[in-house]
Structure formats: structure tokens, C-alpha cells
Amino acid sequence: MSPKKRVAMELDPLFERLQPAEVFFTPDGKQLFLLLEPERFMDGLVTLKNAGFSHLSLVSCVDWLERGEFELVYHLLRWEDGKRVALKVRIDRENPVFQTVLHLWPTARFYERDIHEFFGVVFEGNADREPLFLEHWDDIPPMRKDFDPQPYSQKIFDEREYQHPFVPHIVQANPDRLPWEETIDEAKKGGETNGGK
Amino acid sequence: MAENNLELTRNQKEVELFFGPNHPGMHGNFSVHLKLEGDTVVQAEPVPGFLHRGFEKLMERRLWMSNLALIPRICVPEPDINEMVYAMAVERLSELQVPPRGNWIRVLILELARINAHLMSIGGLGGASGLYTDMYWAMTERDWILDIFEKITGARVYHMYIVIGGVRQDLPEGIVPFILERLDGLERRLKEFHDLLYKNPVLHARLKDRLILNRSMCEEMCITGIGLRATGIPHDIRRVDPYAAYEEMDFDIPTGEKGDALTRGHLKLLEVEQSIRIIRQVLAKIPSGPVRQKPFGNALRWRVPAGETFEHVESSRGEYGYYVVSDGSEKPYRIHVRGASYPQGLYGVQRYMPGTRIEDVALWLGTMDFCPPEIDR
């Protein structure tokens, strides 16, 4: 039996209760990702927590720009046998609102605050929405796929003018040689004259 | 104006205090905004962001191969775990098999890194409690371990040695006696560390039965690692979900009972002993053969098959993981870092730091295994 099927069978009774819309495996079949409908999602988390998956490793968010969706991923671990499962839910990208899981895992407060800051997802029931890492941020949330850092940094930071031209000047002067060869030669010359004195 | 403010705080008996990177007891670039009533903390608000360099966004803009040079920077005291989880994720998605020798060398590197991080943390305990002798000793011992890294990988702190498919190169000649000699030296010193720190009346007065992290707090915050093991639960990713060659290693998981700060500190020394034990096994039994399976052709055009995976390892501070999503292109689609100290560093500070005394704030952060760069990312 392939490992894929073995995992699936061991989780079978749980599967039925969760009624996942889609199931994803890693190629070796050792990890399981269950996509749930938003209205079934909280029940699914409660079911898994009661089944021993009480360790919340991480709450992630993925921006699927082309599909117009955010995907929230809750990674759970059961310590007793080291089994892992991740529950996924898709929410609308234009109106990104989802329920909080604070009542199940109080520690999710900062994961949700993090996702709110970097993706703009609002978690109803989690009032903690102050920026955590970014200061004076005035653009769209930066981890979204349509945020491009390059124009942003060009807008915010002035282009610096260097007093001493860096590599291009040296390359132009001696196109056949690499810039550091010149430097090494100069250093050698300097060393000889100093040594002579 | 200043007098008015003073008057106001006198009436309220509450003082606000910024406890940040300028404080000598602070572990790295992190700050906590404290409200104090007398010497007691009544409110604590974690304010990270000093080290936010946008790693996750940067990783989405780099090739799978070029990320190898970037990721070790996420965790300064223990960079190798980053390389490990990243390599594990790509190997799982593209179904690469690491040769046995590669896996064994990975265990060697990860355990050396664990010793390294624990020694730094033990030294930090000395800094926060005023026992500077301990800090100098621990840093010296750490430097001896860094010499081993330099011989194997060519670098002292950021090694970039664990790569996709195995490790970058085989162990150099004559390294085994060198490592054994250094480990013997460290083992002799561990007893002195024990006497210096954990028999010290000053440290007992400040740590014993204080700064408690009990079982229900661990469950609430989802804390892993030493914090959890100090309450008597022997949970260790190396044991429950083995990676690399840990399945073949014989080691114990030291646990405590009380969950106080002294126990947590003591467990670090015991874990160093276990790491030494694992490294000796690796050196005695390491199989021969290739150390790396080269992945898919030209490194500048690597494409990882579409899919997603969450990889985790046991770092010196607990569960450390990456959530990696690939859309089949030359760059990762999304990588999310699970810092091992994220729960206690943010939620823990806010929820459980109030009630401690001002002089224990630095110790609180130090003994909770706290690492700002992996929180900021």
C-alpha cells in the first residue's frame, strides 16, 4: 500500500466528519492538506482539536492573485504520534474577512495580527489590528502579490549620488582588466615604495 | 510640563518604561513597552520590528538556489536549521532522496549548531543576571565549536552547508580526531558550568521557583522545546517526527518537573550533553558513500514541482518550521517562517510578563529562549 493511502485510511473517520471539499497530499503522502468550506471550517478545527491535534504550529496566508483568493492555512500537530494535518480555507480577495480562532488558540492573536498587517485580512473577533512590524506604512499590505517593492522603494528613497564613482569608472578605464586586478597592482606598488623608504 | 507629568504619574502610581535594544540585558533587537507600579510590571506590550527585513518577500523574488545564501540570516545564533527546513521542503516537493551519508552529516551539523546556540543562551543568562564570568566562559566554549564549523564548512557563523539534496561537500580529512578533542574539552568544562551556574546561590535566589512556565501555559501558548520539556512532557520533534538520520540515533530527552527558570536553564546543559552523545555516535558509525544527490540540472533554472509542504525541525528553542508553496516556477511562490520563539515572544510577553519585577524582565526573556530575528523575519 502506498503511504498516501495509508495516511488517508488512518484519518478516515475524521475525514468523514470534516467533509473536505478537496484533499491535497505532498508527493510522498506524508502530509495532508484539507480544504474546507468556510461555513464548515470552525467545526473542522474543533473536531481536530478534540481529536488530539491541539498544537497550532502556524497560521499562514497565501495570496492567489489570479484566482482572486486568499488561502488561510492552519497547521496542526498531534504530539502523541507526530501526525500533522493542515486545514485550508479560501476567502474572497476583494473582501477578505474571516472569523478568529482566538477562542480555540489564544496564541493565534499574533498570527492573525501578522496576517492582517501583511495581507490585509480582517479577523472578526480579534480587535488587535495595530501594525506590529511596519512603521508609517502607507501602501497596500506588502506581502500581497500585486505589491512590487521596487517602485515603492524608488518612490520612498532618493537615488543616492556617489562622490567617488564605484566599479564602472575603473572598468571603463581598463576594459581588458577586472577592477580588482587594478586595485591589487596599486596596492603592490604602494607597498614597494613604502618598504623602500 | 515635566513637573506636571511627574505629578500625574505620582497620583496614578504608574510609570511607563521603554525596555529596548539599548538595555544591556535585552536579548537582541526587540523592545517591550512596560507599565510599572513600583517595581512590578502591570502591563507589557511587545514591540518587534527592529529586525524586520522582509525575508519572506525577498525569498519570493529569488531563485530556489539563491535563497540558500539568504535564509541562514533569519536566525542568527542557530542558522543551520533554516537551511535544513528549506532543503527538506524542496526535497519533499521534488521527491529527492538524500544519500545516507548526507543525512548523517546533517545530524552532525545540526547538533553542533544546537550546542552552539545553547552555549550562547547559557552565556546570555550570565549577562542578564550579572554573572559575567559565565558569559565569558560560554562564549569561549562556543568559539571552540565554531572552529569545527570553520574546518567543515569554511565559515564560522553562516555556513550555507546544508543544501538541497544533501550537504555541500564531504567532511575534510582528519576532522574526526579534531571534533572528538574539542568535545572532550567541552565535556570537561560542562561540570564547571554546572557548579558555576546551577549551584550558585545568587542564581538560585533569582531563578528557582520563579518565572514559572507551567503546563497549562505551554498548552495555551503552543510553546515547544525546553519550555515544554521543563514541565515534564518529553515532546521533541526529533523523536515524534524524525528527520535526517535521527531515527538511528540513541539519545535521551531530558525533562524537568517544575517549569521554573532554573530548570529551563539546567535542561540546556543536559541537552548539550545529549548532543555530544549524538555527535559521538555519528562519528563512530557514519556510513560511507556520496553526500549529495544533485538536483535537476542547471542551478539557475531549477524548477520545483507545484505543491505545498510544512517542514519542521527541533531547534534549540523548539519547533522551527517553514511553510513552502511552489507553483512550479523558478522561484518560491510563498514561504512562511514559523519562528520557534514567536508564541512566547509576542503573546507570552503580553499575557504573562505582567506580575514580574522590573529586574526580572531581561531574565524572563532570556530564560524563555527568545530570539528576535526569527520573530521579525
| Per-residue confidence (pLDDT) for residue A4, from 0 to 100 | 54
Band the pLDDT of A196: cuts 50, 70, 90. Answer: very low
Q: Hey, of A2, A4, A25, A26, which one would you mutate to test binding to chain B, going by the most B CBs within 10 A of its CB? A: A26
Count other C-beta atoms under 10 Å from residue A177's C-beta: 12
Band the pLDDT of B278: cuts 50, 70, 90. Answer: very high
Band the pLDDT of A197: cuts 50, 70, 90. Answer: very low
| Per-residue confidence (pLDDT) for residue B352, from 0 to 100 | 87
- Among B310, B319, B343, beta carbon nearest to A107: B343
Q: How far is Cα B97 from Cα B172, in angstroms, rounded to an integer?
A: 23
CA A112 from centroid of its chain's CA atoms: 13
| Per-residue confidence (pLDDT) for residue B27, from 0 to 100 | 76
Q: Is A28 close to B95, i.e. CB distance below 8 A?
A: yes
- Over the stretch B146-187, which tens digit does the pLDDT of each residue have? 999 999 998 888 988 999 888 988 999 889 999 999 999 999
B126's CB contacts (< 8 A; 6+ apart) are: B132, B133, B134, B135, B137, B138, B197
pLDDT at A186 over 80: no
Cα atoms found within 13 Å of the Cα of residue A144, Cβ hemisphere only: 19
Burial A151-166 (b: 16+ CB within 10 A, else e): eeeeeeeeeeeeeeee
Q: Is A62 close to B49, i.e. CB distance below 8 A?
A: no
Instruction: Kindly report the three-state secondary structure assignment for every residue of B92-121.
Output: HHHCCCCCHHHHHHHHHHHHHHHHHHHHHH
Count other C-beta atoms under 10 Å from residue A48's C-beta: 22
Q: How far is Cα B321 from Cα B331, in angstroms, rounded to an integer?
A: 19
| Per-residue confidence (pLDDT) for residue A194, from 0 to 100 | 46
Tell me the residue type at B377.
R
| H runs (alpha helix) in B248-323 | 261-285
B368's CB contacts (< 8 A; 6+ apart) are: B211, B213, B227, B264, B341, B344, B345, B348
To the nearest whole Å, the CA of B322 is away from the closest chain A CA by 9
Burial B44-72 (b: 16+ CB within 10 A, else e): bebbbbebbebbbbbbbebbbbebbebbb
From B7-11, B253-257, B264-268, the region with the lowest mean pLDDT: B7-11
| Per-residue confidence (pLDDT) for residue B125, from 0 to 100 | 84
pLDDT at A179 over 80: no
**Cα B301–A153–B66 angle (5° rounding)?**
20
Angle between helices B261-285 and B100-129 (to 10 degrees): 150
Please provide the average confidence, as pLDDT, over all residues in chain B.
87
Band the pLDDT of B1: cuts 50, 70, 90. Answer: very low
Interface predicted TM-score (ipTM) over 0.90? no
B238's CB contacts (< 8 A; 6+ apart) are: B246, B249, B251, B313, B314
Average of pLDDT values for B290-310?
84
* Grid cell at residue A67: 484566482
> In sequence order, what are the beta bridge partners of B41?
B36
pLDDT at A10 over 60: no
Residue reference for cell 523574488: B61
- Over the stretch B70-94, which tens digit does the pLDDT of each residue have? 898 888 888 999 999 999 999 999 8
From B19-33, B112-126, B247-261, the region with the lowest mean pLDDT: B19-33
Q: How far is Cα B229 from Cα B253, in angstroms, rounded to an integer?
A: 8
Task: Give B-chain residues touching A143 at CB under 8 angstroms.
Answer: 56-57
- Over the stretch B105-114, which tens digit does the pLDDT of each residue have? 999 999 999 9
Name the helix (H) or strand (E) containing B144. helix B132-153
Average of pLDDT values for B14-24?
84
| Per-residue confidence (pLDDT) for residue A195, from 0 to 100 | 43
pLDDT at B7 over 60: no
Band the pLDDT of B302: cuts 50, 70, 90. Answer: confident
3-state secondary structure of A123: strand
- Over the stretch A45-100, which tens digit does the pLDDT of each residue have? 998 888 888 899 899 999 998 988 999 999 998 888 888 889 999 999 899 999 99
Q: Is B351 close to A106, i.e. CB distance below 8 A?
A: yes
Cβ distance B366 to B30 under 8 Å? no
Q: How far is Cα A99 from Cα A121, in angstroms, rounded to an integer?
A: 10
To the nearest whole Å, the CA of B306 is away from the closest chain A CA by 10
To the nearest whole Å, the CA of A32 is away from the closest chain B CA by 9
pLDDT at B258 over 90: no
Cβ distance B29 to B371 under 8 Å? no
Of residues A164 and A154, the one with the higher pLDDT is A154
Average of pLDDT values for B297-309?
84
**Sign (positive/negative) of CA torsion A15, A21, A25, A31?**
negative
Q: Is B347 close to A109, i.e. CB distance below 8 A?
A: yes
| Per-residue confidence (pLDDT) for residue B178, from 0 to 100 | 92
Q: How far is Cα B268 from Cα B254, in angstroms, rounded to an integer?
A: 9
Q: What's the predicted TM-score (pTM) here?
A: 0.86
Q: Is A57 close to B319, i.e. CB distance below 8 A?
A: yes
Task: Give A-chain residues touching B237 at CB under 8 angstroms.
Answer: 82
Average of pLDDT values for B233-245?
88
Band the pLDDT of B17: cuts 50, 70, 90. Answer: confident
B221 at A interface, C-beta within 8 A: yes
* Grid cell at residue B212: 514559572
Band the pLDDT of B204: cuts 50, 70, 90. Answer: confident
| Per-residue confidence (pLDDT) for residue B13, from 0 to 100 | 77
Band the pLDDT of A8: cuts 50, 70, 90. Answer: low
Q: How far is Cα A110 from Cα A102, in angstroms, rounded to an integer?
A: 10
Tell me the residue type at A139.
D
Task: Give B-chain residues touching A55 at CB under 8 angstroms.
Answer: 222, 224
Residue B218, CA distances (Å) to B212, B344, B358 in order = 11, 9, 23
- Among A58, A62, A135, beta carbon nearest to B334: A62
Task: Give A-chain residues touching B54 at CB under 8 angstroms.
Answer: 142, 149
